[in-house]
Amino acid sequence: MGMEETAGSAGSGQGGAGSGPAGGQGAAGGDGPAAAGGAGGAAGAAPAAVPATATATAAEDEGREEGEGAQEEEGKQARRKAEKKKRPFWQELPILIGIALVLSLGIKTFFVQAFSIPSGSMQHTLEKDDRVLVDKFTPWFGAEPERGEVVVFKDPGGWLDTVPRVKGNGFVEGIRTALSTVGLLPSDDEKDLIKRVIGVGGDTVECREGSPVKVNGVALDEPYLYPGATPCGDAPVGVVTVPKDHLWVMGDHRNDSRDSRFHVNEPGGGFVPVKNVIGRAFVIAWPLSRWDTLPVPDTFDQKALAAGAGAGAGAGPGALTGTGTGPGTGDGFGGRAGDRPAEPSAPEAAAVAVALPLALLRRRRAKRAGDADG
């Protein structure tokens, strides 16, 4: 009874809010329209609906919390795996050494190799026990030796009078072989020399007693010669023509260098095949007190040198167009009995990093100078 009264009152209230007749009907019909009015009142008294945005925010918060929990769990699992996989230093050390050796092998094979100077045949440009860096990178792009460059090359045959080394036990020899493979020790099979290029294929070189060396008729000014050494007086050979793809090389200490002059009467005529060249020495890397570049002397920049080239381009090895008194074959000047080989040395990483760009820069400048002259 109370609920009906309340509904009726609600219905009457609604009727009162409307027009007069509607209010009258509400008062008269307690079971009819008034009941409908009461239902409306009851609905009005029910709790308000929760907004959709609030529900979505709650769902997002819940999802975020679940995601953060999953990430935290994954992080813990990753840390556990890392702790399990972490090796002690003594296990990592062999790996690091292996990587270093592989890098060293790659550098010395394709980019730069260090050589130790064992004799005085290039004094004072190079002193005994100097370490020089040799560019092995630019020859991959077709670069060939040029006049005035200091190059390391393989023995053309019979230039080195070496005494066979006495070998030790198998274990020591195995270690030595491994180290020589990666360039940390000289190999018994490597017979390399270092000299300055005087003539290239097609050049005529004149080497007479009492006269300066002439290339294609042009006298060379050689301030780099060892003090007191004569350009050719100790071993004159007259005039030689350099065959195509060959070089004529001489040491800066002419009185202590068994170079091309001493092999003119041997197979090959004293010429070095270009294919035997390992690379150009372009910097003294050690000792640091002697650190310096090895540029081409200005005398080799004379334009007349190139103008007179080409006369012997088709000549075969050993072609002599004239002779002087001829070089001696004795051991009168120390290294004359046979130069010692330039020994491979461990590449100094810091020197390599600095020196390689210098070689590329030199080649670029030389090319630009050639284009300008043309």
Flag the least confident range among 222-236, 241-255, 307-321: 307-321
pLDDT digits 0-9 by tens, 264-300: 999 999 999 999 999 999 999 999 999 999 999 999 9
Tell whether the model's pLDDT for residue 106 goes beyond 50: yes
Stretch 228-234: mean pLDDT, rounded?
91
Active-site annotation holder among 154, 191, 195, 214: 195
Tell whether the model's pLDDT for residue 316 goes beyond 90: no
d(CA 11, CA 35): 8
d(CA 144, CA 246): 10
d(CA 109, CA 100): 14
Tell which CATH architecture fits domain 114-373: Ribbon (2.10)
- Catalytic residue list contains 195: yes
Amino acid at 338: G
Stretch 331-341: mean pLDDT, rounded?
42
What pLDDT is stored for residue 126 in this prediction?
Answer: 96
- Catalytic residue list contains 289: no
Tell whether the model's pLDDT for residue 167 goes beyond 70: no
The rounded percent of the chain whose pLDDT value lies above 70 is 55
pLDDT digits 0-9 by tens, 189-198: 567 999 999 9
- 26 vs 254, higher pLDDT: 254
Tell whether the model's pLDDT for residue 175 goes beyond 50: yes
d(CA 117, CA 335): 13
Residue 42: count of CB within 10 angstroms of its CB:
13
What pLDDT is stored for residue 16 in this prediction?
Answer: 36
Nearest by Cα to 15 from 4, 31, 26: 26
- 94 vs 46, higher pLDDT: 94
Active-site annotation holder among 104, 119, 121, 257: 121
- pLDDT band for position 72 (cuts 50, 70, 90): confident
Burial of 10 (0-12, 13-18, 19+ CB in 10 A): buried
Distance of CA 34 to the CA centre of its chain: 98
Amino acid at 215: V
Whether the full predicted model's pTM is greater than 0.85, yes or no, is no
d(CA 227, CA 229): 6
Where do the domains of the chain lie? 114-373
- pLDDT band for position 86 (cuts 50, 70, 90): low
Stretch 7-21: mean pLDDT, rounded?
37
Stretch 125-141: mean pLDDT, rounded?
91
Tell whether the model's pLDDT for residue 117 goes beyond 60: yes
Tell whether the model's pLDDT for residue 132 goes beyond 70: yes
